[in-house]
Each structure stands twice: as structure tokens, then as C-alpha cells.
Structure 1
Amino acid sequence: MVGLIGELVEIGPTVHAHDSNQQIRQIFETNIKCSGIVVVENDVPIGLVTRTQFYQKLGSLYGYNLYIGRSIELLMNKNILVVDYTTSIIEVSRMAMKRNEEELYDYVIITKYGLYAGVVSISRLLMKFAELQSQIARYLNPLTFLPGNLLIEEQLKEVVSKEKFSALYIDLDYFKTYNDLYGFAKGDQVIKNTAFLLQDSIREAGGFLGHIGGDDFLAILYHHDYHECCAKIIHEFDRMLPSIYSGKHLLQKFVYAEDRLGVKQRIPLLSISIAVVTNQDRTYSDAEEIVLYATATKKKCKLMIGSCYVDSVCNL
């Protein structure tokens, strides 16, 4: 999904540092689409001369007489962006946009095994970057950058046939109340913090983690040893509460807020619920059946007070 800069490379003209500016002018005049020429030494890029820069120098007072018969070394820009062809397009885009303003639209120079391989124009780079961003948006949750629903669905379809798996449907209790009370910015930060701690726990357990949306996540472990993982998630989440609540709310262990009927009452602090579905005692025909059991188990989990995890419901 994430492309490499080598996929965009185009062969551009090169010269040597001792070549004259007269040769440079001839290249630009015979190739009107060429906006830059790479200067190489033993096939290693050492500089760049752009069309704009070149003609600005020649057009300055006495510039033509001063430069035309001399070597390009006097005019070339040595501050060039050179990347290996295996570098990701996204990373190169970041590097290119961090350059000085006067170099912002210069070619990116590509090497392969340390030798000149070609160039990539900024317009071509940014067009590909925008295309990749669009593709990434289809697959990753924009808030946490975790795999989104398309990738989650693919993982669930694959895991049905696995010898062992544990699917963890994870969500936050009373999140709407927190969001209403503390605001969307802090609510989003809670979701991101939750994603970070889930990533640590699921990665340690050798599993997959996806973000369904809102405060809902789904993890897949490729074994049945989910107890330690769930216990760690709960421990780390409860440790996070002092950083997201005021001292008053922490002390009283609840907040006053309206329930779904508009009645103001005591609402518990955030907790985390984990509904666990495994194929330890039964098999599942497809991904939809796993989701069905996970959803039913989550309802059971929601009835419990505080952070918890619950095994799958078998009597739907």
C-alpha cells in the first residue's frame, strides 16, 4: 500500500562539475521540459542546477560574460536532497517539504546502491503522495491510524480457519458522558491514549489490533492465552484515569451528568470492557458469527461494574 520512491523515478540529464555552462544552456534549450540537471562525479550526485536558477544567474548584470564560459561547479547547488530508491514516498514527501523555500521545488535525486538512478519532480511526488493518502484513509482509522474496518474484516475472515484464536471486542464504558463533560478534544485524546496502551499489550501478545471507530476496538490473538493480555489492558487503563479526570471527580469516583433520558444522576468514571470470543470450545462458520458472539458478550460485560473482561456467551 505504501509505495517506494523508486517507483516514480525518471531519467534526467546529468553533467560533470567541470562541464561548461555553455553545455548546460544547450541542454536546457534542446529540452524545454527539463527543469533541472544533476551534476555527478563518478556517477554519484554532487549537485543540481535548475533552469530558473541558471537563467537568473546568466541574466544578472555581467552574469553572461562572467559564467557562460566557465564550469557548472560555480552555479550548481550542492545542498541537494538525495534518497535511496527504497525510501517510502511518504517519507520522501516529508523530507522534501522541510527544505528551504528556495529549494522547495527542486528535483529529488534518487540513487540505487549509492549511484545516480534518476530524479522525481515535486509535482509528481505530491500527486502520488495525495493518492497514497487517499488509499491509507480507506484502510486506517484517521484518529489512531490503526487498521480500520476493511482490514479488520479481512483479519476476521482469515482467522475463522485458524487452529486457535481469541477475538477481543474492546470498548469504553460511559465514554459519551466523558465526552460531553470534558469536550471532544479530551475525548479524542482518551481514545488515542487507549489505542497506545492497547497496541503495547496486543503487540506483546503477538496479535492484531484494529480500530472499529469511536471508542470501539477489535483485537485478534492467535492463541487462547488471553487472560494475561486482558488483565494488563485493564490495569494500564485504570492507571490512566488520574491523568484524564479532575481531582474532584477522581476523589468522588463519579460525575454528575444526564443519562439517556435527560435525568441528572451519578455516572461512574470511565472503565474498559473486553468481550472475548475464542474457538477453544466451538467453531465459527464465518466472520459474521464471531462478531455476533462478540456483540452479545459485550452486552454482558457492560452489566458489570468497573473494568472487566468476559468470555463469550454460548447460549444466544
Structure 2
Amino acid sequence: MTQPVMLRNWQQVVEKVDFAFQPIVSPHTGHVFGYEALLRRWEEAGFTSIQALFDTAWDTGNLHSVDMMLRAKAIEKFARFPGAKRLKLFYNFDNRVVKTEDYQPGQTAALLSDAGLERDTIFLEISERHDISNAGYLKDILVRYRSQGFKIAIDDYGSGFAQLRALYECEPDIIKIDRFFIDGIDRDRRKELFVTQITAFAHMIAAQVVAEGVETREEFLCCRRLGCDLVQGFFIARPSLDIPEQTDIVSSAADIAADSRRQSDRDDDVVRSYLLETPALPIDINPVDILSYFQQNPDISLVPVVDHDGKPLGIVRDSEFKAFIYTPFGRELLQNPANRANIKRFLRRCPVADIRTSLSELLETFVATEALDGVILTENDQYLGVLDQSALLRAVNERNTLNARDENPLTRLPGNSAIYRYAARALAEPRRRRFAVYFDFDNFKPFNDQYGFRQGDRAILLFKDILGKVLSQNDWFVGHIGGDDFFAYVQSIDFEDAVAAVQRVQAMFDAQIKSFYDPETRESGYLTGKGRDGQPARFDLMSVSAALIRIPAERTDITLDHISVEAAKLKALAKTSPRRFAAGIYDPDSNNASEPKLL
């Protein structure tokens, strides 16, 4: 039972509660992206739930002041984490705060500054459990938060009132999918479809997706396969009131990611899911026992036969034994010493392949062979299972579907998951020369607002075509992160050649994008529109900023997460540079992580 509202000392309440922190990590590398602050010990403050605490604060007109005290407490504790400056803090934001009479903007920025943290450190999580789709006041306050440099996350997506319009209006940086859709997703195709669709939509609006409540390895693997950018849940780590000793990586997730990287060029995850684990028969089995086996297992049409070492020799078909089933004295004929001693009479050849063989090669093997029974798969030369015609075709279809999911739906370039997989492979190989480039459009939103999304899509496709023309000659990898952000990677070329290629891309885009504007705008050299604060403003014609990162030679412990942090700093410099270009080297041993090392 809570104390009477008038007697409550909110300062004492805040002193009694505490925050537990739960890591949010990349499923591709296991590296920590940030932590969510979760309120704990509310019972000791006299409340039955977290919601009861905030409801009481709202009912008594104290919500804003209480929320600010809690924010201060969460930020202060988070700032003591090792490496806090490179991490993100997710803080649950009660939508009703903006309606309080004492609401004053700018206090969060001051709290972060006092803690030595940048404004983009914090992600304000807006719960979809409250109706945000019709909250007009919310859009205004989000504009203010964005203008102050804060990030926005939609929490509990799919649990309540969400509409696509709400996502459009809020322009979230992150969408967190509710635990309900993650629970058992590896066994529920409808949940898988939902997560696939919202992930694709999120990437189209340049937002990242966090899968909440991941509790099993299977859920973890499924979320990664479906393209979720980040994961959170008990499988990764439980919320903890203690300040962690290590904040750069979660070992359990990193180990799984490492296993995945070693198998990244294989289709064995898909193949295993369709593999028929039909028990093999020994070469010395009595033919009568084979007949009994088929009679007892009418759904099985073929069975592999292995030697004494477990290596496959071929298959026997049920059709070979039907004659004995329906022939008088058929069983007696199988007991004939000649048949008993010659099981090879019933043995048929079947292609054999290792589980690590790609599905394309398996399909080619299947088509090329005269026997259309299927393919026997082995692991370490031991029989593993069978892919019959139906299973093989379904596996190929699944692989093609997964490949399509990895593509950006607009440009058909590799998307986030494919970029991570490629980078994991490439960065694990020691190379003397290698470079990563991040491209980001300048003044894209004003153009989009003025000419419409269709013309905006055409501008993105124009840039994709330019990338293909310029970067194809040096075997660059090009990916589409989402929205107007692109990624490129190249190795074994000189720094000067990499710079020249990037700047040629920029110059070609500058020249060709002008035709997308009306003559009057081209003549004036600027576009008139509204800024993020809603006030009229002038915007230069669209261009592209580029940040080029030189990756240390021969290092194999660098990840895409490391590079992306450096790229964010360089992009900020590029956008203020006359050439809209900045180049730097990622130095993992630098003592000054806040400043990029320029080239």
C-alpha cells in the first residue's frame, strides 16, 4: 500500500530506487552497442510496479520533475561504465512528460554534459503501449529532441497502438520489436513473417531493429537470419544492478558470431533445417529386415546404407522391395542365401556431398546425376542425412528468400545483414591495404519534401548506378545500409586510388543530380524549405559526403562496429568540409577515442 500522495517525498523515492542495465549487442559480432536502463527496487519505495510509480507522479503533477531526477540517476550511473563514451544509453520515456505544466526542454542535454557524455549518447524510448499514433503533441516535442541531437527509439513495437503513420511521424532511429513476436520465433512462421516485414520497412526508413527478449540460441540465430540489427534478452545477459567490468563485448554472443563467420560462405544452416535424418542401414543387414523397415515406415521411400566406418555407400529404395511384398513367398525369396549374401544387388548409387557444400553446388550435382533420388550429406566423412528432391528444392527456395531479405528492396544492393557478413569475413583476413567508405547524402530531406518520395528514390538509384560504374573496376564491395546511407569496402589498392575513386563518385553525383531540380532551383543553386525546427530555410542542392577509413594493416581483431564508430566522427567532419570528404585511420590503440586520426 503506497503512502498518501501529499506526504510522499519524491527525492527519497528516487534515492531508494535503482537502475539495472541490460546490454544490447550486435548478433553479427557480439559487440555491445549500448545498455537499456531498467528501473528496479520500486517496491522498496512503496510501489507495486514501475507503472504505478509513474502513474502516481502523473496524478500528483510531479511526473516531469520525478522523471528528470530518474534520468539524472541513470545517466550518472551509466557514465561510470568502462568505455561509456562509446556506448548508447536507452532510457524509457513516458509520453505524458511533455504534457506536464512544469516541462522545460534542455535539461537532459545539461545532464549529459555534466556526465561528460555527448547528446547522441541517449536513446529516448517511446513505448508503443501508449497511443502514439494520434498524439499530435508528440511530433512537436520529437522535433525539439532531434534538434538537440537526441536519438529516438520506438519501444514494444507490435504490442499496442502502432501504425505505420506513427513510425513515419516519429522518424525513429531504432524500432524495438516486442518480446511477444520474438518468443518462439524459430518455430512460428507467422512471427517470422511479421519480424521480416517490419525489419524490411525499418531499413527502408534507415532505422535499425532491436529484437527484444531473446532467450534462446535458436531465437538469437533466427533474429540474426531475419536481419535484426541488434538483440537484447536473457540469452545475452540479464539486467544487472552492478557496473560491468567489461562493456565492449558479450562473450557468449561473440562465440556464436565467430562460429557463424567461419561458416558464412556456406548454406549449411539452411540445409540442416531441411535435412532428413533418416537412420542409415549397415551394409551387412539382412534384406528381410530392410523389407520390415519399409513396411513399418511407409513414409520413407529411400534409406542410405553405410559401411562399418559410417561412410555412405548408396541407398536402397522401397520400390525395389515392393515386388517382394506383393509376391507369394516374397519374404522367403529374400531369405535366399544368394540375396542375403549380396545386399549390393539392391544398392543404388546416390551423390554424396559434405554439409558445407553450397546449395548451388548441391543443386548442380543433383541435376547432373542420373539418379534423381536426392543427395546424401556427410560431416567429417560420416553419414549425416539425406536431401531428397522435395527437401532440396525447398532448401534452395529458402536460400533464395534469405538472399532477397539481405537485399535493400529499392536498390537490390546488399543490406545490413549482408554487409555485416561480408565485413566479418574481410576483416578477419590480414591485409596490408584495405579501406571502408561511408557515403551519406546532404540535403536529401528537403529535396524529398519538395519533389516527393518517388523522385527521392530516383536520386538514390542514380547514386547506386554511379557507385556501380566507378567502383566496379577495383572489385569494391558496395552495400546499401538504408535510406540515403551507403557502404563500400576495398582491399589491395593504394590510398590515393581509393580517394580518387570516392571523389569521382561524388563529382559524378554532383553533376548528374542537378537535372532532378526544376530550372529555377538549378539557377539559384539552392532550395527553399523548412528546417527541422519548422522554420523557413535555404538548402544547397543535394550532394554526397564521404568518410574513408583506413583499416590497420594485418589486424584481424577489427570489426565493423569499430569502423562505424570512427566513420560517424569522420562523417561529421566531411559534412563541414568544402570537399564533403574526410579520411582517417582507425587506431584501436589510440588513447584519444573521441577524436578521429586524420590522414
Q: State the TM-score, normalized to the length of structure 1.
A: 0.57
Please give the residue correspondences for 1:293-312 in structure 2 after superposition, counting only pairs within 5 Å: 293-305=566-578, 308-312=580-584
Indicate yes or no: 2:547 matched with 1:275: yes
> Residue 284 of structure 1 contacts residue 290 of structure 1 at CA under 8 Å; is this kept in 2?
no
Partner Cα distance (2:534, 2:554) in 1? 42
Q: Map residues 1-316 of structure 1 onto 2, 5 A cutoff.
A: 131-132=398-399, 134-157=401-424, 158-159=426-427, 161-222=430-491, 223=493, 224=495, 225-279=497-551, 285-287=557-559, 288-305=561-578, 308-312=580-584, 315-316=595-596
Output the amino acid matched with 2:411: T
CA contact (8 A) 2:432 2:553 kept: no
Question: What secondary structure, in the 3-state scheme, does the structure 1 residue paired with 2:528 have?
Answer: strand
Asked whether the equivalents of residues 435 and 551 of structure 2 are also in contact (C-alpha less than 8 Å), the reply is: yes
Provide, for residues 162-196 of structure 1, a one-character-per-residue CA deviation record: whole Å limited to 9, x for no partner. Answer: 22111110011011111111101110111111111
Aligned 8 A contact 1:278 1:312 in 2:
yes
Q: Cα offset for 1:131?
A: 3.6
Q: Which amino acid aligns with 1:299?
A: A
Question: Offset at 1:227?
Answer: 1.8
Given the superposition, is the C-alpha separation of residues 236 and 125 from structure 1 closer, same or farther in structure 2, using an over 3 Å criterion?
farther
- Deviation of 1:154 after TM superposition, in Å, equals 2.0
Q: Which protein has greater RCO, CA pairs closer than 8 Å, 6+ apart?
A: 1
**Is contact 1:205-1:229 (8 Å) kept?**
no
TM-score, normalised by the number of residues in structure 2: 0.32
Distance 1:299 1:131, change over 3 A: same
- Distance in 1, matches of 2:508 and 2:541, equals 15
Task: State the Cα distance separating 1:290 from its structure 2 match.
Answer: 1.1
Inter-partner Cα distance in structure 1 for 2:443 and 2:554: 32
Aligned amino acid, residue 262 of structure 1: G
For 1:261, the aligned partner's letter is D
Look up the SS of the partner of 1:200 in the other structure.
helix
SS of 2:410's equivalent? coil
Identity %: 28
1:239 deviation in Å? 1.8
Mapped to 2, the partners of 1:274 and 1:302 lie a distance apart of: 8
Whether the aligned pair in 1 keeps the contact of 2:437 and 2:548 (CA below 8 Å) is yes
Is residue 441–residue 485 contact of structure 2 (8 Å, CA) maintained in 1? yes
- CA 1:200 to 1:163, structure 2 compared with 1: closer, same or farther past 3 Å? same
> Where in structure 1 are there 5+ consecutive unaligned residues?
4-87, 89-109
Q: Corresponding residue for 2:88?
A: none
Segments of 5+ residues of structure 2 without an aligned counterpart are 1-264, 268-359, 361-365, 374-389, 587-594
Task: Please give the alpha-carbon distance, in whole angstroms, between the structure 2 residues aligned to 1:129 and 1:243.
Answer: 43
Residue 292 of structure 1: how far off its partner (Å): 0.9
Q: Secondary structure at the match of 1:312?
A: strand
Q: Distance in 1 between matches of 2:469 and 2:543?
A: 18
What secondary structure is seen at the aligned counterpart in 1 of 2:537?
A: strand
Residue pair 1:296, 1:313 contacting (<8 A) in 2 also = no
**Alpha carbons of 1:206 and 1:269: their partners in 2 closer, same or farther (altered >3 Å)?**
same
- Secondary structure at the aligned position of 2:478 is classed as strand
Residue 436 of structure 2 aligns to a residue whose secondary structure is strand
Letter of the 1:292 counterpart: V
Which AA in structure 1 matches 2:475? G
Could you tell me how far apart the structure 2 residues matched to 1:290 and 1:190 are?
Answer: 27
Please report how far the alpha carbon of residue 278 of structure 1 lies from its aligned counterpart in structure 2 after TM superposition.
0.4
Equivalent residues, number: 215
- Greater Cα offset, 273-282 or 167-176: 273-282
